[in-house]
Amino acid sequence: MRLLPVVLTVVLSVAVAYYFYVPLPDAIQEPWKLMMVDAGFRAALYLASLKDWLGLNHYMKSFRQSTEGVEDMMKGLLSSESGGGVMPGVKVSDITFAGIPVRLYEPPAGGEGHLRRGLMYFHGGGWALGSAKMGSYDTISRIVSDELNTVVVSVEYRLYPEVHFPVPYLDCLTAAKYFLSHDVLAKYAIDPERVGVSGDSAGGNLAAAVTQEISTDDTMTVKFSVQALVYPVLQALDFNTPSYLQNKEIPILYRPMMIRFWLQYLGVDLSLQPQFLANNHSSLHQTTITPELRARVDWTVLLPQKYKKNYKLLVVEKGLQGLGKEVPGLLDMRASPLLAGPEVLGKCPRAYILTCEYDVLRDDGLMYAQRLQDAGVTVTNDHYDDGFHGCFSLITWPLEFDVGKRALRGYLNWLQNNL
């Protein structure tokens, strides 16, 4: 009988280790910490799926509640550790811009008559998760506001499953146009020549799309002077780029999960996920996908050789038919900014694009950097050889990563010198 507890303990330990363990490249530092973060996300997703199966709640709503709960707990711990929160001099207000909820961060008052920088931020989360109020996003906005004497506006755009494309984009565009009005900039003592836009992941997608629209809108007298995109997701035509294949099983953004986020955003039947995995949705039978559009996402031309390696371009001859007409958002540059033509890109402001080696979205960012440069835009690409998707937000105890702190510092330095 004494042997039974020992056996059960060993079995349980092996089972737990098996659940937590994910093979990771040697270049990723603090691997077990990343495995712990990933295990937490997977557990939350499994629980959300169970609730959905039982008819208790939509799985994405449950998943969102779980992630926000963890963030709130981390925020509480951070507040306890720091004795009341970070950057206490920053004034935080939850207001609306043209009916869109935003969280406004104002730095400590400076000298009279001195104008400040302005920055609009769109959080990530696959157009389904995240909030400006979440611990990591709130912390980063406070740091930017305090260190760079910047008025930060973090937008609470609507999310899936309540809405699909183009609603999140339109929410962000509405807030951006309001922010860029002379009256609003004057109200918050912001220099009209020093207003930027930024976002990470799906937020980087929204930032790029909004920047393109603002840059080409002749009715806008004030436009963004810079765009700072953190591992942005920029196209939905090719899910077999080198980075999608190389990093398909790297936490915390697995390839099937990113495709699922796209299907949700575009309102596509989730049962078609295998078709998108195989690039059947962008087959040659899709007559709406012209050779010109394909060239805009052709990684064999747009990526340096060190990223292409020995991977082969996958263009399927026969696949799903008529999807371009059934899902117009698939070819809409408001959803996929990488599809924009050079006449649009050439009007965009100078850009900062952060990419990570171990991220399925790496090549989206690298291709966009190249296309912007080809259109005459000045681009800074900060690439982290030990980086992974989500690291930019993992900067606070106990979920802090060295690469995340380095990425945030590089981002801040660029804004300091360019905004």
Residue 39, C-beta contacts closer than 8 angstroms, at least 6 positions apart: 19, 20
What sign results for the dihedral spanned by CA atoms 73, 78, 81, 83? Answer: negative
Residue 68, C-beta contacts closer than 8 angstroms, at least 6 positions apart: 131, 134
Nearest by Cα to 252 from 366, 404, 135: 404
| Amino acid symbol at 270 | L
The DSSP output letter for 376 is: T
**What is residue 285's predicted lDDT score, i.e. its pLDDT?**
86
Interatomic CA distance for residues 239 and 247, integer angstroms: 11
DSSP assignment of 19-31 equals HH-----TTSSSH
Is the CB of residue 148 less than 8 Å from the CB of residue 117? yes
Residue 59, C-beta contacts closer than 8 angstroms, at least 6 positions apart: 45, 48, 49, 51, 52
Cis peptide before 304 (omega within 30 of 0): no
Name the active-site residue from 38, 138, 238, 359: 359
Based on DSSP, count helices (H) and strands (E) in the chain, helices before strands. 17, 8
| Amino acid symbol at 390 | G
What's the burial of 328, exposed, middle or buried (CB within 10 Å: 0-12/13-18/19+)? middle
Interatomic CA distance for residues 289 and 270, integer angstroms: 22
Name the active-site residue from 66, 200, 389, 393: 389
Nearest by Cα to 116 from 105, 103, 130, 132: 105
The DSSP output letter for 108 is: P
Domains of the chain plus CATH, in order, are 89-419 (3.40.50.1820)
pTM for the predicted model, two decimal places: 0.93
Is 359 one of the annotated active-site residues of the chain?
A: yes
Is 38 one of the annotated active-site residues of the chain?
A: no
Phi and psi for 328 in degrees, rounded to 5?
Answer: -60, -25
Interatomic CA distance for residues 99 and 104, integer angstroms: 14
Q: Along the 419 residues of the chain, how does pLDDT read in single tens digits? A: 556 554 444 334 444 444 667 889 999 999 999 988 888 878 888 787 778 788 888 877 877 877 766 555 545 544 444 434 567 789 999 999 999 999 999 998 754 568 999 999 999 999 999 999 998 999 999 999 999 999 999 999 999 999 999 999 999 999 999 999 999 999 999 999 999 999 999 999 999 999 999 999 999 999 999 999 999 999 999 999 999 999 999 999 999 999 999 999 999 999 999 999 999 999 998 888 999 999 999 999 999 999 999 999 999 988 777 676 778 899 999 999 999 999 999 999 999 999 999 999 999 999 999 999 999 999 999 999 999 999 999 998 778 999 999 999 999 999 999 99
Sheet holding 379-388, edge to edge: 91-97, 100-106, 150-155, 116-122, 190-200, 226-230, 350-358, 379-388
**pLDDT tens, 16-34?**
444 667 889 999 999 999 9
Is 52 one of the annotated active-site residues of the chain?
A: no
| Residue in the block written with tokens 């080696």 | 357
**What is residue 324's predicted lDDT score, i.e. its pLDDT?**
66
Angle between helices 135-147 and 402-418 (to 10 degrees): 40
**What is residue 2's predicted lDDT score, i.e. its pLDDT?**
59
* CA-angle at 237, arms to 236 and 238, nearest 5°: 100
**What is residue 113's predicted lDDT score, i.e. its pLDDT?**
61
Name the active-site residue from 201, 215, 336, 393: 201
**What is residue 6's predicted lDDT score, i.e. its pLDDT?**
42
Inter-residue long-range contacts of 165-171, CB under 8 Å, 24+ positions, other chains counted:
165/127, 165/265, 165/266, 165/267, 165/329, 165/332, 165/334, 165/335, 166/329, 166/332, 166/334, 166/335, 168/127, 168/206, 168/265, 169/206, 169/209, 169/210, 169/334, 169/335, 171/100
